[in-house]
Structures are given as C-alpha cells and as structure tokens.
Structure 1
Amino acid sequence: MKKLLLVMTLGALSGCFGDSDDSEELSSPLLTADFSTEKDDLKVIFTSTSTSADSPIDSYLWDFGDDSAASFAINPVYTYATADTYSVLLTVTTEDGGSASITRDVSVAKIPGNPTADFIYTPDGLTVTFTDSSAVTNDTIANYSWHFGDVAPGNTSALASPSHTYSASGDYDVTLDITSELGNKTATVSYQVTVTDNVIDPVNPQADFSSVVTDLDVTFTDLTSVDNGNITDYLWDFGDNTSSALASPSHTYVTGGTYTVRLDVTGSDGTTASNSKDVTAYDPAVEPTMPTVSFTSDALAELPSLTVNFTADAANETSPITGYAWDFDSLGASSDANPTFTFIDAGIYTISLTVTSEEDITNSISQSVAVFAPVVALPEYITCQVTSTSTTVFTSNKNEELASCFTSDTPILDKKQAGNWCAEQVAIYVTDMPLIRVRPTLTANVLETACP
C-alpha cells in the first residue's frame, strides 16, 4: 500500500463560493477536500467537490459544527436549529488510507416570511377594543396603521391593539395595515364592525293599514311598521261610532257610504301614531250610479306652447273614482288624473278621457283641443367688413381675411363646421377708380353669439 505524504495548507479557497465563509484546508497535491453549500432558510445542502488523483475516495466524514451527530453521506442535507455561523469540517479518505480535510465557516439565517394581517374586536356600546392577531414567520411586525371607518380626526391609530369610541351606532369598515421589520413587507385586512349604543332606540311607529270592501263588509289589515320594539295596542275608529282593539279587524257597516277610518297604535316604549283613510262601503240594494266626467286644458293662443297641462273633473255619487285613462289622439296615453303632454306640432287634436268608479263603472268624454306652437325668434346677425390685404380678390384667402370677425382662437373653417358660421361672404367687390385698383372690401354675416 502506498503512503500518502500530507501537506498542510492554511488559507481560504478562492472561486468556490459566492459567500465569504472562511475555510481551512488540509490536503495533499493528489488529494483535495472541498465542498460547496446551497442555503434555504436554516437548511443547507452540502455538496462535496473533493478530488483524488491517485486513489478513489472511499469515505466522507462531515462535522456540522453544532455538536450534532456526524454524517457519512457524500452530499448531506442538514437543517440547523438556530441561525448562526458554524465551522463545518469535511474529512475525506481514499481507499489506500490517504485523507484530507477542510474547515469552512457556514452562516445560516432565517428568511423573513410574508406577514398576515388579522385582528379581533370586542364592542361595548359605542367603544370597540381591537386586538391584533397578525403573524409573520422569522420576523416581527414593525408598524401598525388602523383606519376605523368613521370621520376624521381621531379615526386612525398606530398602536398594535387600540380602542376606539364611535359617535353613533352603525356599521363601519375597519382596516388594519401592517409592515414587517426585517422583510419590510406589508399586509392588509378589513372587517365590517357593527356598534350599537346602550341607549334603547325609540319604537317610532308609522301607522298604516289596507282595506278590502265586499258590499257592506270591510276587512282591515294592519300595515304598521316600527324602527325598534313592537306595537302593544291598537284602536280602530270605523267612522260610524264603532271601534275595535284588534290588530286587523273586520267590520260590517249598516248603510253604504264613505267613512273616515282612523287607526291609533301604541309602541312598546309608549309612543303613539295615527293614520286615517276614507273607505267606501256599498249597499247591494242601492243601484250604482255612473260617474260624471269632463276635463280642461291650458292650451291657449295667448300663451302658445306645445306642452299642455290637462285637468280631469270627475265624480260619482255611490263610489269614488279609481281610474283615469287619457288618449292624446293616439300620440300617447296617461293614467294620471292631471297629466301633462307635449305635442310635436301645433294643430287640433282629439283628446279622450275615460274614468272608472270603484264599482267598476266607466264613463268617457272626447273633445278637440287646439295646440299652438311657440313663437321662435329669428336669429340676429352682425355684419363684419374687412378691407382685403390684396388688390386681387380672387387670389386672396377670404377665410383668413375675415378671421378678425371672431375673437376666439377657433379657426374659421372649424366654426363653419360647428354651425357657428352663418353665411359666407355676402358681398365682395372691387372699387375701381381711373388708373387705380383699390383693395376690395370683404363682407360676412355672423351670428351674434359667434363673437363673444
């Protein structure tokens, strides 16, 4: 067996690593121990780059520098428990007994993670306590920015777990922005927070009801609404000296007619509200009458307008009018009692109105209405005259010559396209005198609004 002469060499290997880890080498000219590292957080992948020119390398011995068990793998993967700098020793041995080693300082560090913003909140009346529950791996939260969702000032905080008192009950969108210390990374979370003051809100009842009439029998349904609490008492006055304390009663009238029915309600906090409506009951023994109908309009020659207001005049003895149907000469329709209609042109139009009583009896009327068009004033023009700079009118630029007629920066051609140019040159002429050709005068008419 050959004997290998070992040579001790101290110093740092150059060109093997991208970091600045220190190394100490013990090798021979024919056998060299060496390795490289690849780091991922606290995990390090060690790769042996040892070489032997004489005898094959038979074994590897790794000491990771943290009192852990040695490794005999060629390219071990090792995860350190804590971030630090460790002196890693690699010893390689050949088949003929030769050995070489190298020691290198390997620094490992935890990689800061992405933070996650979160919080919990505890309302107590209008005051809410916010508790930060944000998290980040291998890092700490450096900055907090709270926005409590109400009006400034005083609606923000930089504390980790602040408290905030709102001025009124309601739903508020609360946002927390955080920034990590080492990684300088941000995260945001928002929750809707509902706060209610400890004062009991008033019931604030709004009394309302509906009715269904069948001859002399009427069924009433309570439609009262409340903001808070409930209704504790009802009192109905049916308008015929009778009453009821039920929520939704029924009542039979002795004779037909229109009665004013009143509902009084009392809330659980003692507040009251009332509502009255006219209800018409029908005696089946009484023959229903036909409604009367007529209408007027404000279409007048003295006040010409294509928009006309119509007013219905309808009545019935045994039941109220419940429906209106207008026909504006087949140009449009309306179900309003007093509609407004705009005609396209002046003329004489046939207007029809049909009314319907609650007993489903109808009556109609048609009459002619003269509609007058409003008077449209003709536009006023201003004449602008410019003395041409050329004695030959046919070679001059007429648009440029007339540019002084306009005070804005818009070119004349653009004004013509926009409709502000009312007429091109109305008069262009040349005044001739003996042996002298005088420069022509250019004339244009423009709208009065075209020259502000």
Structure 2
Amino acid sequence: MIKKFTLLFVAILFVATSIFAQGNVSFYADVTSGCAPLNVTFTNNSTIDTTGVTFYWNFNDGNNYEAFDTSHVFMAGYYNVYLSAFGEFGNYLGDYYMQINVQGSTGDFQISTGNNVCVGEQIHLSSFGGSWNISWDLGDGTTSTDYDVEHSYLTPDTFDVTMFFETQCGFDSIIEQVVVSNSAIPSVGINVNGGNQFCPNDAISFNNQYIAANYLWNFGDGTFSTNPSPEHAFSSIGDYDVIITVTNSCGNVNKDTFNISIQGGLAGYSDFNYWPNPVCPNQTIVFSTWIAGTSLWDLGDGTISTEKEIFHTYSDTGTYTIELIMTNGCGDSDTSYKDIQVQYQSGNNPNAYLYFENFNNWNQYGPVDTITVCTNTLVQFKNTSGGGNLTYLWDFGDGNTATTVDAENTFINVGLF
C-alpha cells in the first residue's frame, strides 16, 4: 500500500506541474530606452495560470524583486531584465527577458586630496563618467577647458568647484565644495584589491584613495612601507590590522585601518578586465587582473604572459578567447575565459578630411577642394581626420609624400595635382 500511494502522489505532482506550465511568461515595458535616470514600469502579461505562482524580477544591476508588476529606476548602461516564474511547489515554469538601454552617463569628478585642502596644496581634478565638452569654474576666478585640472588655492576659504559637461542627453553641471585651511585634516581610505581573505605569500596590492604628502604603512607583521601603493605578502596564517598614516602639506595627520585574514586552503579565483572591446586590428588593448597570486595569460594568438597588466595588439580580425590561470599562495588554481572581437567598425573607421591651411579659399559650404597657385609656392595642408590611433600617408601627386599629421609641399611644376 505504501508503494502504491507514493507512486500515485508522484503522478499527481507531475500532472499538476504540466498544467502549470501551459502558456508563456512575458512582460512589456512602457519605455525601453532613454536618458538616465530612467524610470521604467514593467507590466506582467504572462499567459500561464498564475494561481500559486511566484514571479521574480532580476534587473541585472544588483536589484531583484518578487512582484507581479513592478517599476525600476536605471542608471546609464545596458540591462537584460529577466522575469522568472515558479509554481507553488518551487517548480520552474519559464522566464522572459528584455533589454533596457539607458543613455547619458552622469558626469562626475574626483578631487585627488579629498575636499579638505591645505593652503597652497596642489590638487588634481579628474573628470569621469562618459561626458565630454568639459569646462571648469574653480570658484576663485580660475577657469579651464581641460578634462583634468591641476590647481592650488592660495587663500583660506570655501570654494565651489563646478564642472560643466555634455552627455548624450544634453548639458549638465555638478558642484563640489573644497574647504581650504591650514587646519585641514587629510582624507584617508585604504583600498585592497581582492577583498580581505588571502593565502600565505599572496602579493596583496594596497593603496590610499587620496593623495597625501607622506604615507606610512604598518602591515602588522613587523614590516612597514612609505610607498603610496605598496604590495605586501604575509608569510604566516593569522589576522593582521594594516594601518596607514597619512600626512598632508599642512603637517596634519589621519589614519585608517584594514583587517587582513591570512588563511590556508582558500580556493583559487580568476577574473580580469580588458578595454576596449571590440578593438580594431593593431589597436592597443589592455588586460589586467586585480587577483592576488601568480598569473598565466594566453591571449589567443600565441602570446603568453605572466604579468598582472598587459598592453597588446592583434594584427588580424577575428574572435580571440583570452584565458587567465590564477594560482594563489595556497596552491589552488582557477581559470577564467573571455572573448574579444577584433574587427573594423563604423565607429572606429578613420575619417580622412583635409583643407588648405594657408589659403583663404572658403565658400558658404566650407573649405573648397581646389585652389590655383603659382609654381614654387608652399602649400600647407591641415588634417582634421578622426578615428583613434591613426597613421598618416600623404601623396601630393608630384612624387612627394609625407607621414606627418599635417603636411606642406612646394609644387615646382605646372600641372593639376
């Protein structure tokens, strides 16, 4: 009797699962592209029987919701939004996804020293966030159109630093305050690549988030460093409090502490970044890993390397599989793979364009493409081409050539060139 009852229960469960699986999981969005921040409303229009069904939304930006319908705010990027359905017994019923394209990354900038600055201390303002047409108002009458700016404030005060910029979604600005004082306390913050758990003899990379005048690292194992971004390996298992003491140009001090746990038997881990992708033939691509341990790269074209950071070029188009084997100090290894595309693209194709620089031959539509000059006249050509890392070859039609960005030539014979 027990065996028959068990078989009957399994049969009923199978039938129930089959019934629940009828239909499709699907949804639609009120918008699928736009400028950041983009608020998207998702409507569940699944055709399955939703009795007892649980729906999970995964927005691929670190956020997940359990809901039938929902809305979400996206920042700039590309997101595959998934809706998955599960029956009342936890059985998988299906899923559906849609891509959301959000343009207009928010422009931002970083102050190398932090916001508290000494009088006369040099600071570095670095823009980031995918913006262009950048200009600065540093709040003390100084302006700039450089992407990155070096500056010193000569009087104590609070200054509004404004960065003006353009993105795909128009013009914008952002303001941060810089407080200039001889009593300024330096900003400090330890960064450690790879978390806080490592094996003995792993080379761990440390750095301070901010620029200071002097650094003193105490690794807690009797060793010290004055390097702004040192590497250090711990030989023995245990917990270590790593302390950094920074001093600014005013002579003021600040500290930060970070705990490192050195353990045995940790599993290996491999991962890496690369940029750009896709890449053109003979264009430099950078591979780098932040994982502690020894690295062994296979770049897919016969090139092998053991460096943490590699600058490389591919001579031919194609898809290359990059392999990185990382081995930690515990002796365990892990391998990661990523594909890169080497190809010519419309966005990377160079645009060849030139005009005559030392002749005023413009019409209402722009520079003309033909001029008349006397023999032995020097003609200067201005190159306004774009498209990345370019090389140049000029052919003047009279047997002369040049490989400079801009060029000039003297035509000594009568003719049309």
Which band: TM-score by shorter chain?
Answer: under 0.3
Larger gyration radius, structure 1 or structure 2: 1
Q: Which has the higher contact order (CA 8 A, sep 6+)?
A: 2
For normalisation by structure 2, the TM-score amounts to: 0.27
